[in-house]
Structure 1
């Protein structure tokens, strides 16, 4: 039944695009999206649960006759490919002051940075809490500036993870006490803690409250700005229509999530 609803809403989405006279790019082109595996946003390519961000791309572009090619790769390489124009979309990027990407207006949800530990007695109460513990970070991920400042001042305190599935591997290090603290996106870390059965080994130690809420985006390649602007306009139009038709809500339910716009009100 859910598949039937999604199919019908996909057809409706395409009809609404056509009624609006909106044609974002040439017909039957391939749109390449890249990222490292980061559920529930993006998962294993070709699986029944590719992640809701990938499914949003498919729901928007495939009814319009485009082919969405989702490629898994290390985050650092994904960044390089999008900046160089080898790929069109980087899934799940924060905006930063020096960002070179183009961004749509619509987001992929709030980025709540929380801290996880293997020590039930350790709590995050502010930046000073990081003194005296070994911390795991992922190469290329955007962290809050005060985290990066501590990295610059005390590099011996940190383990920087490279390569595939870095969140999963850092959680393994946390379980084995090779690190004691890991900051990360709450939805992502808790997804893997649950699916890997680490509830008894990994504990939520608190979250950082930003003065201004931060959101994740589809980051678009600066190498082909006109193409990226068209793709961004399509994403804005498409996500808005998915929300209005209920297709977005049906998709998020599949991953146990709620619409972040409603949460933000």
Structure 2
């Protein structure tokens, strides 16, 4: 049986048209930016959309032609939006947070977090084990963060523990510490010292110890974002291979001087009048 030429060419045209449509859809799907969110946790994640975790994550996608959109929202809300698939990923999560929220991650470690304790200069308190907290007046942490099973249990059992929230809760805790609202704050040492420098309060804080061992941090993806998780891991490998990964890490080895980040410093000043 011979297929009429007109029908043959019509089939060819239809296939070509379908191929063009699929290509267009593919391009648009690829062009849609990956939506990534976190609260401020500088120098890891900074307000002006920098910080080494932000830079590495963005470049891991961009090196493969994928755009990224970063949003600053409170940590707890970011996890909720991720579970609702309103965003694609949240930065700097521990493995326990990823498991508890049923998220996806790769084996790419983006840094380490530690539970570091800071008091005011002049205090003699030190913190090496959980029981040391029983001697302090009030501890301040960030709402939604996980500090490990034992510390989380202690905070939950002591109703006077202060849980700060908002886009820059650590800045709030540091200022409250200086104003005498609580006696110790707990967070990552690098983040505390960076934020304190931007508030011009470094000289008033004192490192008082660390409880527990540092834990690795990952990028968490929603269950529907397995493809993005794979793309991210591949991108990190590419950045390591071309040397860009180390360049970004070197850029953030030294904490910025006071006022080095004018945007960060200016935004933090809005907290100060609240406690004057």
TM over 0.5: yes
What range is the shorter-chain TM-score in? Answer: 0.7 to 0.9
The structure-2 alpha-carbon separation of the partners of 1:45 and 1:70, relative to structure 1 and needing over 3 Å to count, comes to: farther
Match 1:115 to one of 114, 117, 132: 117
Q: Distance in 2 between matches of 1:189 and 1:214?
A: 17
Q: 1:177 aligns to what?
A: 180
1:103 maps onto 2:105 in alignment: yes
Match 1:136 to one of 130, 135, 140: 140
Paired residues, what number?
Answer: 225
Q: Distance in 2 between matches of 1:69 and 1:45?
A: 13
What's the Cα RMSD here?
A: 2.1
Structure 1 segments of 4 or more deviating over 6 A?
none
Q: Distance in 1 between matches of 2:64 and 2:190?
A: 30
Q: Distance in 2 between matches of 1:61 and 1:152?
A: 39
Q: Which has the larger radius of gyration?
A: 2
Once the two structures are superposed, the pairs formed by residues 31-70 of structure 1 within 5 Å of their partners are: 31-46=34-49, 50-70=50-70
| CA offsets 1:20-42 (integer angstroms, 9 cap, x no match) | xxxxx952221000011111121
Give the C-alpha shift of residue 241 in structure 1: 2.5
Given the two structures, how large is their TM-score scaled by the length of structure 1?
A: 0.79
Match 2:243 to one of 222, 240, 246: 246
| CA offsets 1:74-117 (integer angstroms, 9 cap, x no match) | 11211111111000010111111534110111011111221111
Give the C-alpha shift of residue 45 in structure 1: 4.0
The answer on whether the counterparts of 2:125 and 2:208 sit within 8 Å (CA) in structure 1 is yes
1:236 maps onto 2:233 in alignment: yes
Given the two structures, how large is their TM-score scaled by the length of structure 2?
A: 0.76
Once the two structures are superposed, the pairs formed by residues 1-265 of structure 1 within 5 Å of their partners are: 26-46=29-49, 50-96=50-96, 97-118=99-120, 119-131=122-134, 132-156=136-160, 158-210=161-213, 213-222=214-223, 224=224, 228-256=225-253
Q: Which runs of 5+ in 2 are unaligned?
A: 1-27, 255-276
More helix by share: 2
